[in-house]
Amino acid sequence: MPTQSLVEYLKLESISCEVNQHIILLNSVPFSIYFIDKNDEITVEELLALRQKHQTEFNKLLIFIWWDLWELKPKIIKSKLFHLLGKSQKIHARKTSIKYVEKSTAIDFQLNTHLMIPLTAYKRIGLYLDDELIALGVFAKKRKFRDGTYSAELLRFCTKNNYHINGGLSKLIKTFSVQHSIDSLMTYVDLDWSNGSKFERIGFKTVEKQPPLYFKLKNNKRVLSTSSNYDIFNVGSLKLILTLESN
């Protein structure tokens, strides 16, 4: 079973855990895992209720891993878990250099490091270590609001698998904000994996909760579904905004 293969991976990484139905309880770490198998019948409301109950009982975030992502992108899933477990190789952002990234390189990097479809958008800024791309930020073009301020969106942020760049996201944001003169930056956080706390620690504020997204699987890819006919869903996302100091 997929749940068992995930448990076996955790044990190989010397992570003590036990399985209670679909929930994988991890010892001495601040999160647990709920694995949604192919034949499970569960709703958004049930998952959110389980998360709330788990938070109350164990004071831990319950993250949700879907079977399709575990099958199709196991390296990325393992890297995200590695990061949450605090086992990623750490590099300080001050040791990296900033470069703009060409489209093809950005697409390849996202395919190997991000669970969502790759985007190229307006600007792609990378952090490089010894000429190797180790982190990438993809930004939308800025727009002007009625009050005269400018805002842009961080569409993607990803790092090389099994790496954590201390200060990396802040360095990318500062580079973009200075070069493109914006007053605020918006982004979205996937609630399947996060409660937004890591973004909030660098100054982002949660302004809105977005509804769940529903998908059909076509040729092993998630395609948005606007009907009640779907195979997979997420539990929604958070919209966050970072107000920037005057550049």
Q: What is the pLDDT of residues 79-97, one digit of tens each?
A: 999 899 888 999 999 999 9
pLDDT of residue 1: 55
Predicted pLDDT at 4: 77
Taking residues 59-75, report their average pLDDT: 94
Query: What pTM did the predictor assign?
Result: 0.92
Question: Residues of CATH 3.40.630.30 domain(s) within the chain?
Answer: 89-243
H or E segment to which residue 98 belongs: strand 97-100
Q: Which residues contact 57 (CB under 8 A, 6 or more apart)?
A: none
Give me the CATH topology for the region 89-243.
Aminopeptidase (3.40.630)
Looking at residue 12, its pLDDT comes to 83
Q: In the prediction, which pLDDT does 79 show? A: 94
**Dihedral sign computed on CA atoms, order 34, 38, 39, 44:** positive
**Cα of 101 vs its chain's centroid, Å:** 20
How does 135-156 read in b/e, with b if 16+ C-beta sit within 10 Å?
bbbbbbebeeeeeeeebbbbbb
Mean pLDDT of the chain: 93
Question: In the chain, which segments carry CATH 3.40.1350.10?
Answer: 2-84
**CATH architecture label of 2-84:** 3-Layer(aba) Sandwich (3.40)
